[in-house]
A and B are shown apart, each in its own frame.
Chain A
C-alpha cells in the first residue's frame, strides 16, 4: 500500500501539515504584536480585490464608464488594491526587521517577495485595462521600457486584449497560487521565534 503515490503524498501532507498545524487554536506567546495582523490584512484585501474583480468581469470592461453601480464596484476594486499594497508593504518591512527568514523560512520570504512582484505586474496590467485616458497614456509610455529589453516583442502593453486576459486570468492565477503556498509555508513552519529567544547557553556556545 505505502508504495502508492497517493498514499505517499497523503502521508507526507499528514506529517508536514496536519490539520492541527493548519488551523491551530493556540500560538507561541510571542505572537503578540500588531505587525502580525498585516499578513491577514493583506490576504483580506486580496479577497476584496478578487470579489470586486469578478463582478467587474461579469459586466465587461466598458460597464463602469457608463453605470453608477459599475463605477462603485470599480472604486471598490481600485481602493482595495491601494489598501492591499499598503498592508503588503508594511508586512514586508515587518518581516524584514524580524529577520523572519530564520530557521528554514527562506522559502517563505522568497514566495512573499515573488508575490510582491507578481502583484505589481497584476496592478500594472490593471491600470492598462481601465480603457480611459490613463491607460492610453500608460501604454504609450510603458512600451518603451519593455521594448528596450526585448520583452515588448511578446508582452505588448498596447494590446488591450492581451493585457485584459493577463490581468483577469493569468496573473491573478499566479498570484493566488503563490499566496496559497506562502501561507501554507507559514503554517507548516510555525511563526518564527523572536531574535535572541534561544536560551543563553545556545547563543554563547563556542566551538
Chain B
C-alpha cells in the first residue's frame, strides 16, 4: 500500500471524530418493524399465497392411464429415468462430470432405489389382488432374474416399436409383465399407490424420494410443469404457480440455463453436463460475491461510478467535498 492509501485506510478505520447528530436507533427499529408488518399484512390480505394441490398417482393413472402403464413397464425393464439415473440412486450410469471430476459417481449410491421392486413389486405385494394379477406376481417372484429381465425388455421394446400405442403391441413372450403393469395401474387408479410407495411397508415415513422419482418418470408431472410455466428452460426456476412471485433471487442461476452452451444437451462437454457446470459456476460466483472487496477491478467500481455522490450528497454539500480522482 502506498502511503496515502495507508493513511486513508487508517482514517476509515478510526472512530469518527467529525460532526455527529442525534440518532434514535430504537425508534428507527420500531418504525421499520411496524412498517414491514403493515406491508406484509396488506400484501397477505390482498394477494394471499400460492397453494396448488399436489398431484397424485391416482390423478396420473386416471387422466393418462396409458402413460402410467408404459412407465410401469419401463420401471420393470429398467429403462425409466430413475432406473437409468446413476448415483445416488443406483449404478446404472456414471452421471455427470466436470472434466476429470466425476463427483456424482464418486460419492456413490447413498439413496438406493431399485425401480423394479420399490416402484412395482413391493407396492403390488401390499394389496389384495385379483387372481390373474396375484398369479402374475407369483410367476414373477418365482422366475430367475435373467428371465424377468427378458420378459420386461421384450415388452418394453415392443411398446417402443409401436410408439406407445398399446392396442397395437403384437403378442409376444412378455410373461407376467403386462398383468403386473395392469395391476399397478389399477392400484394407482384406486388411489392406493401414493401411500404404498411412501411407506414401503413401514409405519413412520418422512422421505418422499421414491414417490417423486417415479412421478417424474412419466409425462404427467412434466406436462403439469409446462402448463404452469415452471420449466427450467424458460426461467421456470424463478416462477411460482399462479400469479405469485417465485424465487426471483435465483435469476442468475436460472440465467445460465437459457444460453448456449448450457441449454444445448448435445453440446459436449458443457451442454451435456450443464447441471454440474452451472452448479460449479454458481459456487465460484458465490465465492466471488463474498470476496468482492478484494477482487481487483470489481472493488474499484464504486470509485469509478460515483453513485456514492448521491448517497452522501447532503454531507458532501455541507462539507464542500469535491470528488477526488483516483
Query: Taking beta carbons and an 8 Å cutoff, which residues of A are in contact with B?
Result: 23-33, 35, 37, 40-41, 43-45, 47-48, 64-65, 71-72, 74-80, 82-83, 85, 89, 94, 96-99, 101-106, 109-110, 113-114, 116-117, 119-120, 123-124, 127, 130-137, 139-141, 143-154, 156, 158-162, 164, 189-200, 202-207
Contact = CB atoms under 8 A, between A and B. Distances in A.
A41 B36 contact: yes
B138 interface: no
Interface in B267-287: 273, 275-276, 278-280, 286
Query: Looking at chain B's contact residues, is the secondary structure mostly helix, strand, loop, or mixed?
Result: helix
Given A134-B52, A134-B241, A149-B276, A37 B95 contact: no
B87 interface: yes
Given A76-B40, A116-B289, A132 B276 contact: no
B323 A205 contact: no
A33 B311 contact: yes
Contacts of B107: 150, 153
B23 interface: yes
A136 B54 contact: yes
Nearest to A116: B289
Given A25-B23, A30-B315, A205-B3, A198 B8 contact: yes
Given A99-B299, A158-B212, 4 more contacts: A28-B20, A97-B308, A123-B247, A195-B312
B39 interface: yes
Contacts of B215: 136, 140
A133 B52 contact: yes
Given A27-B23, A28-B16, A140 B9 contact: no
Contact of B21 (A26, A102, A109, A197): A26
B99 interface: no
Contacts of B45: 72, 75
15 contacts: A45-B40, A75-B44, A75-B49, A101-B292, A104-B9, A120-B249, A123-B249, A132-B50, A137-B225, A139-B208, A148-B273, A159-B206, A194-B316, A197-B319, A202-B7
Contact of B40 (A80, A203, A206): A80
Contacts of B221: 136-137, 140
A76 B12 contact: no
Most chain B Cβ neighbours within 10 Å, of A32, A82, A149, A154: A149
A154 B110 contact: yes
Contacts of B250: 120, 124
Interface in B37-87: 37, 39-41, 43-45, 47-55, 87
B91 to A, nearest CB: 13
A195 B51 contact: no
B248 interface: yes
A110 to B, nearest CB: 6
B54 A159 contact: no
A44 B8 contact: no
A40 B23 CA distance: 14
Contacts of A72: 44-45
A124 B13 contact: no
Contact of B15 (A45, A82, A132, A190): A190
Given A103-B9, A103-B12, A159 B51 contact: no
Interface in B218-255: 221, 224-225, 228, 230, 232, 236-237, 240-241, 244-250
B25 A158 contact: no
Nearest to A86: B248
Contacts of A204: 4
A89 B208 CA distance: 34
A98 B302 CA distance: 6
B54 A26 contact: no
